[in-house]
Structure 1
Amino acid sequence: MWWGAAIGVLGGMIGLGGAEFRLPLLISVFGFVALQAVILNKAMSLIVVITALPARLIVVPYAEAAPQWPIVVNLLCGSLAGAWIGATWATRMRSATLYRVLAVLLVLIAAALAWSHIGGMSAVSLSPVIRVVAGVGAGVALGIVAALMGVAGGELLIPTIVLLYGVDIKLAGTLSLAVSLPTMIVAFTRYSRDQSFQVLRANTSFVVVMAAGSVIGTVLGGLLLGVVPAVVLIPVLIALLLLSAVKVWRHD
């Protein structure tokens, strides 16, 4: 539980669930092979998102989020397919290849973290048709990444929503959860058809305890939001992701 809580605090301090930090931990510390770690991470991420969504609606009321349903639908049109594709690829990859892919994706998350929290974001000007097409394309890509890593994908979803649709970042966080939940369920369903899914049944207690720690840690991290200046916290988290990427890349 303590590992889960620590990860939750890290993620909660920047408004995320921490699955990006949990994945390398499952591989490097707990010794799960790549696909097993992804499936376990997906299960824990699903639990965290389910518990986070009601709490998020306290921050951003349903009445404020509901009118933005076209954004959620637009992204889901791509992300549901992307989740199935990504999970299928993961189950068919050699472990060595999947380790390399996960390492590259950790670097991508680090870059997105730096850009969204340090570089700043502003909406791009697109015609309605182009925006819809871009939303579907972005949804596919995000669904693939989330499925391959077993994460909710908020670090990529939130800046995408801000850039494409010009909504406030706080509202974008709520909308990202609404996109993530069905997307994760699709990926989870695809993984359940693979033999490697047995790792979840064999480690149910581990998943529940660590997920509970992540939920508690996320709440604590949210309460600590702003206590540690972003100018200090973000570079540390980026360094952790990059270090994790190196370790995962070198994993046999």
Structure 2
Amino acid sequence: MTIQLCLAGATGWAGSALARAIAQTEDIELVAAVSRTHAGRSLGEVLAEPRLTGPIYATAEAALAAHPCDVFFEYTKPDVAKANVLAALERGANVVIGTSGLTDADYAEIAATAEARGRGVLAVGNFALTAVLLMKFAEMAARLIPQWEIIDYASDGKKDAPSGTARELAARLARIRPSALTVPLDETQGLVETRGARLAGSQVHSIRLPGYTISVEIIFGMTDQTLTLRHDSGNSAEPYVDGALLAIGKVGSFMGVRRGLDSVLEI
């Protein structure tokens, strides 16, 4: 059975790589795309890929109204992502979220709508399979090591902080336990802000500099020993394609919200 897909953010850095990969698949059909910049054109024309025949719309609402779909893939910006996801759920689509910056409150609202509509939402902070493995390894380590801190690296132009990857990692570790602090934050001498932000029980530091694409690092510490886990992405969006395709195929297999690609994989 072919999955009918609507892709929001189809002409962006990550979205265009995913669209080109979909053009080579046989079980996913990209029926519509969302891009304000290229609205009114065909996606194949914009991406120079003739196998992509779906039209581009300026808004998710317009695309969903014209082309009912099985899966809506959200790959835009935080300020419109929640509205896009809710609109897709109301139209009866399952949703994959690749946009970072949504809060826990946003996900609570999305979860309520998904449950009410009997649809699935898979939110993935990072589709790279190496990032998925980092999170699994970090969960294993957190069960044995009580102290850690997360460092989130991205380019100087990335506006949201921390990244979706760091948010997802902190949320997952919170289900195990909060990271212990030898010196409580309110007893810090000097600038407490230099200790990072307390997010879901983890200290998180966001670095934004030229030269980085997307990286996340978690450092676990015990007496006289440390463990460092790190995922680094290069300049292309290719690392995210395989995971995104897996997410599209799996999102219809459950109801409600799941966070993390590994939540639908057997690892």
Note whether the superposition's TM-score is higher than 0.5: no
Rg (Cα) greater in structure: 2
Greater RCO, CA 8 A, separation 6+: 1
Q: Return the TM-score normalized by structure 1.
A: 0.24
TM-score, length of structure 2 as denominator length: 0.23
Q: If each structure's helix is expressed as a fraction of its own residues, which one has the higher value?
A: 1
Q: Which has the higher strand share?
A: 2
